[in-house]
Amino acid sequence: MATYDLEEQEQLAEIKAWWKQYGNLVINVVTAAAIVVIAWQGWNWYQRSQSTQAAGLYNVLQRAAQEKDLQKVKAASGELLEKFGGTSYATLGSMMAAKALIDADDAKTAKLQLQWAVEHGKDELRDLARLRLASLLIDEKTYDEALKVVDGSSGPAFEPRFSDLRGDVLRAQGKKAEAATAYQSALDKLDTLAKAGKEKDAQGWQEQSGAIYRELVQQKLDSLGGSK
% pLDDT > 90, the chain: 40
Question: Domain check: are 152 and 142 in the same one?
Answer: yes
Closest CA to 122 of 157, 153, 91, 79: 91
Average pLDDT, rounded, for the chain: 79
Pick the most confident of 7-11, 53-57, 170-174, 188-192: 170-174
Question: What CATH number did the domain enclosing 166 receive?
Answer: 1.25.40
Is residue 88 packed enough to be buried (19+ CB in 10 Å), middle (13-18) or exposed (0-12)? Answer: middle
Would the pTM count as exceeding 0.75? no
Q: What is the C-alpha to C-alpha distance for residues 38 and 199, in angstroms, rounded to an integer?
A: 43
Domain membership flag for residue 134: yes
Higher-pLDDT residue of 16 and 204 is 16
CB atoms within 10 A of CB 96: 23
The pLDDT score that the predictor gives to residue 89 is 86
Q: What is the C-alpha to C-alpha distance for residues 191 and 184, in angstroms, rounded to an integer?
A: 11
Higher-pLDDT residue of 19 and 137 is 137
Residue range of the domain that includes 228: 122-228
Domain membership flag for residue 6: no
The pLDDT score that the predictor gives to residue 16 is 62
Domain membership flag for residue 92: yes
pLDDT tier, 190 (very low <50, low <70, confident <90, very high otherwise):
confident
Give how many domains the chain has, as a whole number. 2
Closest CA to 40 of 29, 52, 32, 51: 32
The torsion angle over the Cα atoms of residues 180, 138, 136 and 164, rounded to 10 degrees, is 0
